[in-house]
Amino acid sequence: MAKSEVIIAPSILAADFGAMREAVLALQDGGADWIHFDVMDGHFVPNLTFGAPMVSALRPHCTLPFDVHLMIEHPENLISDFASAGANRITVHVEACVHLHRVVQQIRELGCSVGVALNPHTPLEAVRYILPDIDLLLVMTVNPGFGGQALIESMKPKIAEARLMIEQDAPHVLLQVDGGVSPENAREVVALGARVLVAGSSVFRAPTPQEGIRALRFALVSQKA
Ligand code: DX5
Ligand code: ZN
């Protein structure tokens, strides 16, 4: 795929929570394609972040698609709130859904694009029979719950295998990689098959978020080996 087709979805988990509106405006100004919301409930993952009110608070200030990553138990109880708040895409974890096919249908009925996420240990086989029904597959390359972690090297072959599964069974599905993505590894992650890159700390650790996004895009097009 052309490197320019790669979707950059910065995670606001790494932003200053005391200036979230400014952070989202900076991401939009910097050419982000989506805004990634990392929703955590302190049960599915050992961290607590924000809920649908954060989405609704930021919705009037940003025209970009809101990509909501639900790291929560029983996501079926809250997907309607996130859809009403202005989420464009809702991703749930296969590990959190006893009846995933039904949750996927519920998200679609709410008018949102549907994503399914896999924790690092979860085999791709877990999504084989749901893949044709979703729009996005999120391969976690860190253990969910925190930003600033290093990409787990053993996830690289999983990205490549996910790309193969998508091309064989559901070529419409976007392959999203989330966790430890930076200008140092973005080119390789895309070469393995990622189409959507989530990056939190590498964007917000840069002097400005705009520069963080620019560094990612430059890494994708620069010729260095
Ligand atoms: C981790 C989240 C990721 C994380 C990415 O649970 O799902 O989106 O915030 O942050 P970095 O890019 O810092 O790994
Ligand atoms: Zn995420």
Residues 27-52: b if buried by 16+ CB within 10 A, e if exposed = bbebebbbbbbbbbbeebbeeebbbb
pLDDT for the residue 3: 47
Closest ligand to residue 144's CA: 1
Per-residue pLDDT reduced to its tens digit, 39-68: 999 999 999 999 999 999 999 999 999 999
Per-residue pLDDT reduced to its tens digit, 73-83: 999 999 999 99
Residues 220, 26 contacting (CB under 8 angstroms): no
pLDDT higher than threshold 60 for residue 7:
yes
The answer to whether the CB of 138 is under 6 A from ligand 1 is: no
Active site includes 38? yes
First to last CA, the chain: 17
Q: How far is the CA of 180 from the centre of ligand 1 (A)?
A: 7
Tell whether pTM > 0.85: yes
Residues 61, 21 contacting (CB under 8 angstroms): yes
pLDDT higher than threshold 50 for residue 94:
yes
Per-residue pLDDT reduced to its tens digit, 156-209: 999 999 999 999 999 999 999 999 999 999 999 999 999 999 999 999 999 999
